[in-house]
Amino acid sequence: MYWIFCAHAAKSRGRARGRRERAAPLVGLAVTLAITLAITLAVGLAAPPSLAAAEDHDPVLRQKLQAALQEPLAFKDRFDAEVWLTDMAGRLARKVPDPAERLEILTTVHREATRVGLPPEMILAVIDVESGFQRYAVSRSNAQGLMQIMRFWLAELDQPGYALLNIQANVRMGCTILRHYYDLEDGNWTRALARYNGSLGRSAYPNLVFERLRTRWFQQ
């Protein structure tokens, strides 16, 4: 009886060892696949920026930004601005509860949009999509502020200490960049917005901005 028990135990151990030996290649394969996936994801995350993003290093745009930073802060039509501010202040209250910050955002947007000849409502729509009006927003690609300006512009403009999280500085640069792309695309808003977002050739971002403009910021 003892011999039968030992023989049965040996067979059981053999079957268990066989199962482990058969399972080993599967475990190894699973580990290999997991490592391969991790490397693939890491390479994807470290991929260089798209061609659209690389086009931002534009000497003409750099000159426009340098000129914009030298212009004084002033309203061309204060009465028009006050009418607009009254209309937009109530709409922005839910996103920016602080009255002083809300007023600074709106006055800056109106002034800078008017300066470059763009509709201030479109700038509000862009800000809504880009940062949700969070003045200290910083993206994974290190785009900063309300209009999500890329930090490489500080090196391009030789302004290493320039405050991209400052509302007035950020919106001034964002409006200048967007106007440049609008001119580059001969007034085609879809392509200009896609360039701004670095997604030229795709319509998801422009359509989102158009939707925010239509539903939240279009002036009655």
In single-letter form, the type of residue at position 145 comes to G
Residues 123, 163: Cα–Cα separation, whole Å: 20
pLDDT at 54 over 50: no
pLDDT at 102 over 70: yes
Q: Average pLDDT in the 178-201 region?
A: 95
Give pLDDT, residue 55: 46
DSSP 3-state helix, strand, coil percentages of the chain (rounded to 5)?
70, 0, 30
Residues 50, 47: Cα–Cα separation, whole Å: 9
Mean pLDDT, the chain, rounded, equals: 73
Give pLDDT, residue 219: 73
Q: Average pLDDT in the 5-19 region?
A: 42
What values do phi and psi take at 21, rounded to 5?
A: -65, -40
| High-pLDDT (> 90) share of the chain, % | 45
pLDDT at 200 over 50: yes
With b for 16 or more beta-carbon neighbours within 10 A and e for fewer, the 44-70 pattern comes to eeeeeeeebbeebebeebbebbeebee
Q: Average pLDDT in the 103-130 region?
A: 94
Span 61-89, pLDDT tens digits: 555 455 545 555 555 656 767 888 889 99
- H or E stretch at 150: strand 149-150
CA angle 105, 106, 107 (to 5 degrees): 95
Enter the pTM of the model: 0.66
CA-based max dimension of the chain:
107
- Which fold would CATH assign to domain 51-217? Lysozyme (1.10.530)
Span 20-49, pLDDT tens digits: 444 444 334 333 333 333 333 333 333 333
